[in-house]
A and B are shown apart, each in its own frame.
Chain A
Amino acid sequence: MQATAKAFKEAARRMTADLRHRGLIQKALRGYELKRDEYRERFRDWGAARRAAARVKWEAVNHLDRYLAEFADRIGARGAQVFFAEDAAAARRYITDLVRRENVRTAIKSKSMTGEEIHLNEALAAAGVEVAESDLGEFIVQLRGEPPYHLVFPAMHLTRDEIAEVFRRKLGKPAAGASTEPEALTMVAREAMRQRYLAADLGISGVNFAVAETGMIAVTENEGNARLSTSLPRIHVALMGIEKIVPRLADLALLWPMLATAGAGQPITGYNTLYAGPRQPGEADGPEQLHVVVIDNGRTRLLADAEQRDALHCIRCGACLNVCPIFRNVGGHAYGTTYPGPVGSVITPHLRGLLAWRHLSFASSLCGACTAACPVGIDLHHHLLHNRRNATRAAANPFEKLLFAGFVLLMKSPALFRLAGRIGWLAQPFHQWIAGGPLDPLRAWTKARELPPVAPRSFSALWAEREAKEKKDQR
């Protein structure tokens, strides 16, 4: 077994047994579900909106070369530097070169999953730049030295007491005995961050949408930390995957409310901001430089797979995580990936190698809740099946191969099938002694479940008997 798969299995076993963790996640998500349903109801036609959103992203992704060039040319014409990075190392190198050239000492970062993907914080720290995460949830997990737990709610797995504890240890506040209400803790973070915005040389953000038609990047956030991070420092670096494109500005009239409702159970997110470039002539503030780093890092491999190309429609709302029975039990950290949950299980094998990450596609009940929740209609649970098929084609498990060869043989030969049924019936009373134990060949099934009893006589035997009896009665 691959080390990644072993680690996942181990973490999944540990987390599913952690009832406290499960309770916390269930509670947080119940509130989300109520709000999501309330605001989804306000759409005149959520289904049609979903289909239209899927079309918008289909159009963008399937003409990506054209739209990406259009976007880069237009934002470039307003003075932004657009850098195309083939992989994480190239993106890091561009940014570390920039901070050396510009003598950057401190950076303030608003939430970016692409930043997590390329491990930017570590690279900046190695280049001597102090990076502070400004999103409250990211700030908390950064203080704890953890990766974000969820695409949208990075600190969802922590209680107020755990957060107060890490604040006290790292920031010296709140004082022992002082309030640990979310409000009070948020104000501790606000205070800690304020001066950093003013002092930072560099602000880093992600990109939710890149508009080809007008050459703009759109950043969606609730806290205002992205607005502060991108307005006060003299340099703004924006990180985006190549798939973030939308063709037209008006597409956001659809995607903004859908992202908010599907992802966070909000009617609209607090700040939806469009940046058309760095500070323009005649403007009084804003960064002198804007660098947009456009990152491939394996995405063109997924693009080349027409069957699963729609996985690049993802707008990273997190809706599929929220409804996934696997995510809700194993939690966001067990996956060991930048992108957890169903969409992470679909795309990670493409981005980071099928054989090392195939196990994630098997950790699914295939219930389809993710597909139903996706605001841009990605066929997530079928893609999990596609990954399983591709993984088996690439490297079949020899034991499974043998098992299926035996199964085929059994199914093709009535005599063998009858014999197997007979042996099963005879062997079952003895099996009880080892069921679920280390000697049990069926342990993978029996350690948590009961084997149904083998019938004393097979269906075909009963059928033949009935036929014979009817014939006799007729006579």
Chain B
Amino acid sequence: MNGERSTGTERRPEGRRQEILARIREALRVAAPVPFSHGDAPGDRGGATGQGEDRQAGQARQARQTRDWLPAVEPTPTGMRAALAANLAGLKADLVEVADPAAWGAWLAKTAVAEGWSAVGAMRNEPLVAAAAGALGLPVVWADEPYDKAALEACAAGITRCDALVAQTGSVVVSTATGGGRVLSILPPHHIVVATAAEIVADLPAAFELLAGRYGGRWPGFVSFISGPSRTGDIERILVLGAHGPKKLTVVLAG
């Protein structure tokens, strides 16, 4: 790697942005055919991009169409709940159903004993979570304020809220705000999501609509769609849970 030390005199913070964009424009002067433009098949008319229409109209149309192609979810509360349960099970995540958010604390207390927790990670800015975690009588690392990484690593569980639960995929959507930062939902070996039935959405398009509506122009730094516990198939393609992140994922669903 000789000669790669920068000369220092011409440090460009953006690199060759203008040159590369110009090169791209030049390269695109000859148009490429639209894929599958010959031999249209049913469902292909209009395409996914619709040039010339405004972005919102395009988005709404695309969400509608995407629903026609993706795995089906019955868009009723019972249908969505059944799909969520089935998909969580398929991902080897646990689903616990409780009556209401007030019951989260009792379930956590019971589990803390059963699993022999010595410390937990939790979040302060969700009053119900903070109260339930505080009531465990264990050391708590509050991950949504400055914290010690090593202390969080030593926690047996991380307790978070979520933005949404996606019935179609069994995904838990967390962001900086609902997930207590970026690390709480990935570092401790057991990730517990306390959620309510109102947070279930039918499918991925609905989840993106919800996020766009909630955050609009002010996106958090981090949003993650978590589907099951951490997993790997890198050794002989055999599934192992808890590769680097949580070995267990539990959704405690109220209502």
Q: How many residues of B contact A (CB 8 A)?
A: 99
Indicate if B72 sits at the interface (CB-CB under 8 A). Answer: yes
Contact (Cβ within 8 A) B16 A300: no
Of B17, B70, B144, chain A has the most CB atoms within 10 Å of the CB of B70
Task: Give the chain B neighbours of A314 by CB distance below 8 A.
Answer: none
Beta-carbon contacts under 8 Å, A274-323 to B: 274-280, 283-286, 294, 296, 300-301, 303-304, 306-307, 309-310, 313
Of B26-34, B94-102, B104-112, which binds chain A? Answer: B26-34
Contact (Cβ within 8 A) A92 B20: no
Beta-carbon contacts under 8 Å, B214-255 to A: 219-238, 240, 242-246
Indicate if A232 sits at the interface (CB-CB under 8 A). Answer: yes
Closest to B203 in A: A253
Residue from B32, B34, B176, B203 within 8 A of A286 (CB atoms): B176
Whole-angstrom distance from the CB of B223 to the nearest CB of chain A?
A: 4
| Given A45-B43, A250-B66, A253-B63, A223 and B232 contact (CB-CB distance below 8 Å) | yes
Contact (Cβ within 8 A) A182 B238: yes
Task: Give the chain A neighbours of B240 by CB distance below 8 A.
Answer: 182-183, 186
Of B128-136, B146-154, B192-200, which binds chain A? Answer: B146-154
Of A133-141, A327-335, A451-459, which binds chain B? Answer: A133-141
Considering the chains assembled together, what is the distance between the CA atoms of A300 and B20 in angstroms? 8
Considering the chains assembled together, what is the distance between the CA atoms of A286 and B76 in angstroms? 37
Indicate if A48 sits at the interface (CB-CB under 8 A). Answer: yes
Considering the chains assembled together, what is the distance between the CA atoms of A303 and B21 in angstroms? 12
Considering the chains assembled together, what is the distance between the CA atoms of A182 and B232 in angstroms? 10
Contact (Cβ within 8 A) B225 A135: no
Indicate if A268 sits at the interface (CB-CB under 8 A). Answer: yes
Indicate if A54 sits at the interface (CB-CB under 8 A). Answer: yes
Considering the chains assembled together, what is the distance between the CA atoms of A273 and B17 in angstroms? 26
| Given A84-B17, A270-B226, A257 and B221 contact (CB-CB distance below 8 Å) | no
| Given A42-B71, A225-B244, A284-B143, A267 and B169 contact (CB-CB distance below 8 Å) | yes
| Given A182-B240, A223-B230, A257-B169, A271 and B235 contact (CB-CB distance below 8 Å) | no
Indicate if B137 sits at the interface (CB-CB under 8 A). Answer: no
Indicate if B160 sits at the interface (CB-CB under 8 A). Answer: no
Closest to B186 in A: A227
Contact (Cβ within 8 A) A268 B227: yes
Task: Give the chain B neighbours of A185 by CB distance below 8 A.
Answer: 235
Of A12-20, A64-72, A417-425, which binds chain B? Answer: A64-72
Whole-angstrom distance from the CB of A160 to the nearest CB of chain B?
A: 6
Contact (Cβ within 8 A) B237 A198: no
Contact (Cβ within 8 A) A55 B28: no
Contact (Cβ within 8 A) A65 B70: no
Of A134, A183, A284, chain B has the most CB atoms within 10 Å of the CB of A284
Beta-carbon contacts under 8 Å, B68-104 to A: 68-72, 87, 90
Contact (Cβ within 8 A) A78 B27: no
Contact (Cβ within 8 A) A250 B21: no
Indicate if B1 sits at the interface (CB-CB under 8 A). Answer: yes
| Given A231-B182, A267-B71, A283-B221, A62 and B28 contact (CB-CB distance below 8 Å) | yes
Contact (Cβ within 8 A) B1 A153: no
Indicate if B139 sits at the interface (CB-CB under 8 A). Answer: no
Considering the chains assembled together, what is the distance between the CA atoms of A82 and B15 in angstroms? 8
| Given A225-B243, A228-B244, A270-B227, A279 and B32 contact (CB-CB distance below 8 Å) | no
Beta-carbon contacts under 8 Å, B174-197 to A: 176, 180-183, 186-187
Contact (Cβ within 8 A) A227 B182: yes
Beta-carbon contacts under 8 Å, A23-63 to B: 28, 31-32, 42-49, 51-56, 58-59, 61-63
Chain B 1-40, CB-CB to A under 8 Å as 1, else 0, gives 1001110000101111101110111111011101110000
Closest to A61 in B: B32
Task: Give the chain A neighbours of B211 by CB distance below 8 A.
Answer: 249
Contact (Cβ within 8 A) B149 A272: no
Of A93-101, A171-179, A381-389, A441-449, which binds chain B? Answer: A93-101
| Given A84-B20, A92-B4, A304 and B169 contact (CB-CB distance below 8 Å) | no
Residue from B25, B63, B71, B233 within 8 A of A43 (CB atoms): B71
Q: How many residues of A contact B (CB 8 A)?
A: 124
Contact (Cβ within 8 A) A186 B226: no
Residue from B23, B31, B41, B243 within 8 A of A306 (CB atoms): B31
Whole-angstrom distance from the CB of B137 to the nearest CB of chain A?
A: 24
Task: Give the chain B neighbours of A256 by CB distance below 8 A.
Answer: 204, 225
Indicate if A90 sits at the interface (CB-CB under 8 A). Answer: yes
Closest to A83 in B: B15
Contact (Cβ within 8 A) A51 B35: yes
Whole-angstrom distance from the CB of B67 to the nearest CB of chain A?
A: 8
Whole-angstrom distance from the CB of A282 to the nearest CB of chain B?
A: 9
Contact (Cβ within 8 A) B24 A303: yes
Contact (Cβ within 8 A) B234 A154: yes
| Given A48-B69, A224-B186, A296-B23, A249 and B49 contact (CB-CB distance below 8 Å) | no
| Given A90-B15, A254-B69, A62 and B20 contact (CB-CB distance below 8 Å) | no
Considering the chains assembled together, what is the distance between the CA atoms of A276 and B156 in angstroms? 29
Closest to B246 in A: A224
Contact (Cβ within 8 A) A93 B226: no
Whole-angstrom distance from the CB of A321 to the nearest CB of chain B?
A: 14
Task: Give the chain B neighbours of A269 by CB distance below 8 A.
Answer: 227
Of B15, B26, B187, B226, chain A has the most CB atoms within 10 Å of the CB of B15
| Given A65-B28, A300-B24, A303-B27, A140 and B35 contact (CB-CB distance below 8 Å) | no
Indicate if A163 sits at the interface (CB-CB under 8 A). Answer: yes
Considering the chains assembled together, what is the distance between the CA atoms of A194 and B212 in angstroms? 34
Closest to B249 in A: A270
| Given A55-B47, A84-B14, A89-B4, A182 and B236 contact (CB-CB distance below 8 Å) | yes
Contact (Cβ within 8 A) A253 B66: yes
Whole-angstrom distance from the CB of A475 to the nearest CB of chain B?
A: 54
Residue from A214, A231, A267, A270 within 8 A of B90 (CB atoms): A267
Q: A228-B245, A270-B230 are in contact. List 14 more A-B contacts (CB 8 A).
A: A42-B71, A44-B72, A51-B43, A58-B34, A156-B237, A197-B244, A224-B186, A227-B186, A227-B245, A248-B62, A267-B71, A271-B226, A273-B224, A278-B221
A-B contact pairs, 22 of them (CB 8 A): A28-B236, A49-B70, A52-B65, A55-B36, A55-B49, A59-B51, A62-B32, A85-B16, A96-B1, A158-B235, A198-B150, A231-B186, A251-B62, A254-B48, A267-B71, A267-B169, A268-B171, A270-B230, A280-B176, A284-B143, A285-B183, A286-B221
